[in-house]
């Protein structure tokens, strides 16, 4: 269903782990990726969904802030206090980030 300003409203399925949504992106296969305060959810738009968390994946934080998907369908996942991760071909890789000091 379309909402004002071209936003798409998603009718959530029963028990969908929504919490606080911070990021939503759609990949080249029309899979919806939802970043929440409780992990990264992969949703096919119908009945299948799975949430990646620190307990079941290589994510270093459940607090997802950003999702970017490039032309090769690699997902870049920004987190609070968990660095940057990528998701590609079923694998999550972690990249440690450092805070730079201003001189």
Measured between alpha carbons, how far is 17 from 62 in angstroms, rounded to an integer?
12
Which domains are assigned to the chain?
17-95 (2.40.10)
Task: Fill in the DSSP letter of residue 24.
Answer: E
Q: What is the pLDDT of residues 20-40, one digit of tens each?
A: 889 999 999 999 999 999 999
Q: For tokens 């738009």, what's the residue?
A: 45
Q: What is the pLDDT of residues 48-93, one digit of tens each?
A: 889 999 999 999 999 999 999 999 999 999 999 888 999 999 999 9
Supply the pLDDT for residue 96. Answer: 83
40: its two tokens:
């990264």
Q: Do the Cβ atoms of 66 and 77 come closer than 8 Å? A: yes
What is the torsion angle, in degrees rounded to the nearest 10, for the CA atoms of residue 29, residue 1, residue 46 and residue 66?
A: 60
Give the predicted TM-score (pTM) of the model.
0.78
């Amino acid at each position: 269903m379309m909402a004002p300003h071209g936003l798409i409203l998603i009718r959530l399925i029963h028990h969908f782990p929504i919490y606080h949504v911070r990021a939503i992106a759609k990949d080249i296969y029309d899979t919806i990726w939802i970043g929440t305060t409780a992990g990264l959810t992969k949703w096919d738009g119908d009945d299948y969904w799975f949430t990646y968390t620190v307990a079941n994946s290589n994510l270093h934080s459940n607090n997802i802030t950003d999702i970017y998907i490039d032309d090769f369908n690699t997902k870049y996942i920004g987190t609070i206090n968990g660095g940057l991760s990528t998701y590609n071909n079923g694998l999550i890789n972690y990249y440690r980030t450092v805070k730079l000091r201003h001189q």
